[in-house]
Amino acid sequence: MPSYELSRCIVCSTAEADELLSAEDAKAEIEELWEYHQRRLDPAVPPNSLMDRVAFSQRAPLRLVRCCECGLVYRNPVERPMELDAIYREEGPDDAVLRALHETQRPAYDAQAARLTEIFGRRGSGIEVGSYVGAFLTAARDAGWQFAGVDVNAETNAFTRSLGFQVHDGTIESLEAERHVDVVAIWNCLDQLSDPAGAVRAARRHLSDGGMLAVRVPNGACYAAFRPLLRGPFAAVAREWLAQNNLLGFPYRYGFTPTAITRLVERNGMRVEAVFGDVLVPIADRWTKRWAALEERLVKRVIAAGARISTGDKPLAPWFEVYARVRETDSPSVG
Ligand SMILES: [Zn+2]
């Protein structure tokens, strides 16, 4: 059994927060998630292929709260960091499953690599934190970038190296200090780390002058907006919005908001250049029933449109990306 401790906002350090999801709500929401996916999947689906859909790496939250200052959604109480590390090191699906994940994720990363090139203004070198099955590394290579990976999971790293990439077993904090790159990218991963603030600080140390940090995270503001609607006349819409984007049951440690990320990067001598609201990479695969795959495509098109027009903390955007550049004249104010 994991052990838990009380937590506070990792961005503002304040303990002032509102309860968003009680322990009881959490259980009900997980059941709803299982029901949702069971209807949509071929009954013959092997357990391994449930990875990243219902069998998430993270345990379900006990209770979720939302910071009154920056809107960060976080677990309180939270698993102790040691336990979390153990979750990531234990896993090891076989190569066929990793290859299938790679293939499923690849198309969305092509769009992301193109977006990065456009916002950064040119191609260059980079490090991806949480490079996982190498879908982004491949997309970036094909787009003319030179990216290397960093990941705590040695088994998936072996698979990713087999695709021809340099991958460091460990964390951004454990990467050799003299390594400097144009871009540090943290896609779909900052929210799973035990110390995201430390990772952002470490990322900044590896950036060259004019370098850029690019992050993609689940939007706590979206979860906070749709979660209360699960009990009411708009329940079906809210369920679809959250479930299609892996927000139902909230399998993350943190739900950032654009406000929270902005505070984190500014504190580390960077300035936000772009915020982009988006949907999750496609989750349908060969085990998804045809109607469900079609529905996912249609629903995600609608949600993506909503994500792009939504302003402020982008409550209609289930996921968002922030691109922040190192300020020329500043060194990090917090070491
Ligand atoms: Zn906060």
Neighbour count for residue 161 (Cβ, 10 Å): 14
- DSSP, res 180: -
- 127-128-131 Cα angle (round to 5): 140
- Rounded to the nearest angstrom, the distance between the alpha carbon of 332 and the centre of ligand 1 is 20
Query: Is the pTM of the predicted complex or chain greater than 0.75?
Result: yes
DSSP-assigned beta bridge partners for residue 4: 79
- For residue 77, whether the previous peptide bond is cis, meaning omega lies within 30 degrees of 0, is yes
Task: Report pLDDT for 335.
Answer: 43
Domain ranges of the chain: 4-93+185-326
Predicted local confidence at residue 84, as pLDDT: 54
pLDDT at 86: 52
Q: Which residues contact 290 (CB under 8 A, 6 or more apart)?
A: none
Q: How far apart are CA 227 and CA 261, in angstroms?
A: 21
First CA to last CA distance, the chain? 35
> For the chain, which residues score pLDDT lower than 70?
1-2, 48-60, 81-92, 330-335
Read off the pLDDT of residues 254-305 as tens digits, 9 standing for 90 and up. 999 999 999 999 999 999 999 999 988 777 878 899 999 999 999 888 888 8
Q: Are 191 and 218 in contact (CB under 8 A)?
A: yes
User: From ligand 1's centre to the CA of 323, what distance in Å?
Assistant: 20
> Which residues have C-beta within 8 Å of that of residue 84, sequence separation ≥ 6?
194, 253
Question: What pLDDT, on the 0 to 100 scale, is given for residue 271?
Answer: 97
Q: 16 CA distance to ligand 1 centroid (A)?
A: 8
Distance in Å, CA 263 to ligand 1 centroid: 9
Residue 11 Cα to ligand 1 middle (Å): 5
pLDDT, tens only, 199-233 = 999 999 999 999 999 999 999 999 999 999 998 99
Q: What's the CA-to-centroid distance between 267 and ligand 1, angstroms? A: 13
Please say whether the beta carbons of 136 and 154 come within 8 A.
no
Distance 14 CA to ligand 1 centre (A): 6
Q: How far is CA 135 from the centre of its chain?
A: 14
**Res 52: pLDDT:** 57
**Tokens 């979390």 appear where?**
84
- Nearest Cα to Cα of residue 214 among 273, 282, 131: 273
